[in-house]
Structures are given as C-alpha cells and as structure tokens.
Structure 1
C-alpha cells in the first residue's frame, strides 16, 4: 500500500467582502485558471491543493564565501514534507455573515482579502479580522491580501489603497504579512497561500497543534493506504504544470 502524498492537512479560510476575488484566488490556486464570470458564493465553497513545505523546498540559497563565490552544493537528504491545503472560500455578503462565521472554527490559516480598487473593502478588513479572532484559534495564521493588482498596473490605475496603507494596517494588527495579488494573471497567488502554509508548518514543528484533534485545524496523515492516499486532479504539488493546476 502506498503512503499518502501529504504529511499534513491544514484548513484555510478565505474571508473578506463580496466581489474581492476570493473565489477567483481559490480557483487560480487549485485549477490554474481565471474565470471572468463567477457566481456569488453562497455559504462556502471548497478547493484543495498539495504544496511542499519546509526544506529542502524552502531552504534559503547558500550565501557566497568571502571571495564572492558560492559554497559548493551540499547534498540535502531532508525528506520533503507536503501539506494539503483544504481551502474554504466563504461568502462575503452581509446576508450570509452569520453562517460563514461558523466556518472560522477549526481553521489554522486565513487569507483576509480586499480589493485594492475599492477602498470600502479595505475599510472593512478590521471587522473581518475581529470576527475571525473572536471565533478561531488564537494562533491562527493570517495574511492580508490586496487582490486585483492587474487593475493597478494599467495606464488607468484604478488603485484606491496604497501598498503603504495596507502594510501599516498589517503591522498595527499583528497580521503576518501583506501580499498584493492578481487572480487574473496569477501574480503572487501561490506566494500568498505558500506564506500561510510555511508558517503553519513552523507552528507544527513548534508543537502548537494537536494533530489528533480535528479542532486544531491541522492533522497528520491517516493510516497508510487509507483515504488520504488518493491524489485528485486539483491536488498537484506546486511546480507541476499541465492539467488544471
């Protein structure tokens, strides 16, 4: 029996106002495509992706020696770990807010998304963060994502929120990082999700989760050859091309 293609499963939620591109970010990561037309999310939608975490994938490049030459390559026998991101794309409409809050429980990571071309969506991220922290685990990993970067890179430049504003908010509110993305072009989408995955992996190594308790938002692989051993089309590891991912 083969072992599962992942070492851990982590639950991530995408939260923020309606129309910010949460569903488009999830589809871009899981299926490698962008759909200009997408139905409004009602309740929650799901996706998943398997990504490498920890070294050797995340190992920093070898610094140069005093003479300016890089160190000779070293053989790294560290087995690569993989994490399956279980993505919960929540509805942003106020009508569904009482429902979507319930999905915050048991999440180990969150992407707090706003639209950089709509200032009102940025004004609401504090409320979303307060709701999340009131319900989720205190150690939940949160990053702020400013989506629709492509619309700020044209001659029209529809940006209404500066990078400096968002980074200052991130520092004030104890959020891990600010990343600007474009679900349309794919720019920085993997970086945003991978940053959360890497911090969760660091927390696993620090012993912050009970991997046998589903409420922790992270769990280890099931029995060898169990249900976790199947790799669906939408779960190719990062770096593979072709298919939907």
Structure 2
C-alpha cells in the first residue's frame, strides 16, 4: 500500500475571471517564468503544472493550474473543471470595471460548485494604476465583504505573482487539506472540494 510520504502532494487551482484580465499571463509567469504581451484567447480550459517548496510546511507542493476561459459561451464547459479544486483565484483587471463588478458572480460559481474552498482575489495590471476604473478602497471593501485576501499584481514586473500562489499553498497545507483529499495522488481524480475558509 502506498503511504502518504511517498505521494506527490498536489493542489488543483482554478483561475477564473472575465476574459482579457491576464489570467493566462499570470499562470504562465508563475509556472514557466516567462512573460508575453501577446493576447491569446483561452478556448475553454488550459492546464499548466508547477512544483514549489513551501518553507512554512517543510513540503513540496505541485500546483495543478487550470486556466479557464472568461467568456460566457464557455461557461457550461469550464464549470465542469471546477470539481476537485482545492483552491481558486478570482482575477480582475485594474483597467476593466466589468471584470471588477463580475467578481461576486465568479465567487458564487465557485461556491456553488466547490463550497468554501481557499480563494484569493488577484487584481492584475497594477502598472496601469493611473488608468484605474475603480478605487483601492473599492477593491479592499470587496475583499472584506467576501472575506478573501486581495493581492495586487503586475505580470510584466513579476510583482506579487509568486507571493499569491505561495499564499494559496501555505493555507492549503496549513489546513491539512491534502490529507483529506485524494488529490495528493496528483493528477485529475474527482474529489469532494469542501475545504472551508479561514
């Protein structure tokens, strides 16, 4: 019988948000360490994987990163990939008011499919703060309302990208979520995703 210490610890992370907010760029920067300004529309779902040492837990964690399309026409498809998620990032753009206003809708979709899993709000494109279409206070108020930590990021400058994912990993391992889920066996098994929120 395989014992837990022999397994690769993994966490399925779904990254959601409206189209063109920078989800793919953020995931690519984290997983591959590269940045491109070229926009390529995600068709339904893309997948990347990244291993990271979580110092606070003394363990290596594999992030299974699911990049979901933000367009409404893919909604029925992408929601099928929420199952088994251990964590989620809701992304919105500094220069896209609609993406900010859609955050609560994305939050509801995650809760409906997965329960209260670990989540982060990620504000993208903070290098364009002089063109911001909502205030810092509005973003902070939304974070408090949803009880979800807020990270302000810039992919081009690699600002707070790794910190955001590290925060997810630390909380996931600190909650012992990997010990309660078959997801420690890594790939794409379907599991209950009700982890709770702290």
TM-score range, shorter chain: 0.7 to 0.9
CA spacing shift, 1:5–1:187, aligned 2, 3 Å: farther
Rounded to whole Å, the distance in 2 between the matches of 1:32 and 1:11 is 19
User: What is the aligned length?
Assistant: 185
Matches within 5 A, 1:9-20: 9-20=10-21
Worse-superposed segment, 207-216 or 102-111: 207-216
Instruction: Note the 1:79-90 alignment, pairs <5 A.
Output: 80-90=58-68
Deviates most, 16-25 or 199-208: 199-208
Q: Report the counterpart of residue 227 of structure 1 in structure 2.
A: none
Indicate yes or no: 2:59 matched with 1:58: no
Pair member with larger Rg: 1
Aligned ranges 1:30-179 → 2 under 5 Å: 30-53=31-54, 57-58=55-56, 80-136=58-114, 138-152=115-129, 157-175=130-148, 177-179=149-151
Q: 2:191 aligns with which of 197, 215, 235?
A: 215
Inter-partner Cα distance in structure 2 for 1:100 and 1:170? 24
Give the conservation status (yes or no) of the 8 Å contact 2:13–2:89.
Answer: yes
Residues 5 and 127 of structure 1: is their aligned pair in 2 closer, same or farther, counting only changes over 3 Å?
A: same
Mark the runs of 5 or more structure 1 residues left unpaired by the alignment: 60-79, 218-245
Q: CA RMSD in A?
A: 2.2
Q: State the distance in 2 between where 1:104 and 1:163 align.
A: 29
- Who is 2:196 aligned against? none
The answer to whether 1:201 aligns with 2:173 is yes
Q: Higher helix proportion, which one?
A: 2
Task: Structure 2: give runs of 5+ residues left out of the alignment.
Answer: 194-198
- Matched residue SS, 2:175: helix
Greater relative contact order (CA < 8 Å, ≥ 6 in sequence) = 1
Seen in structure 2, the aligned counterparts of structure 1 residues 205 and 13 have a Cα distance that, compared at 3 Å, is: closer
The more displaced of 84-93 and 138-147 is: 138-147
Q: Normalising by the residue count of structure 2, what TM-score does the alignment of the two structures yield?
A: 0.86
- Give deviations 1:62-81, integer Å, cap 9, x for gaps: xxxxxxxxxxxxxxxxxx31
State whether residues 89 and 121 of structure 2, in contact with CA within 8 Å, keep that contact through their aligned partners in structure 1: yes
1:189 and 2:187 aligned: no
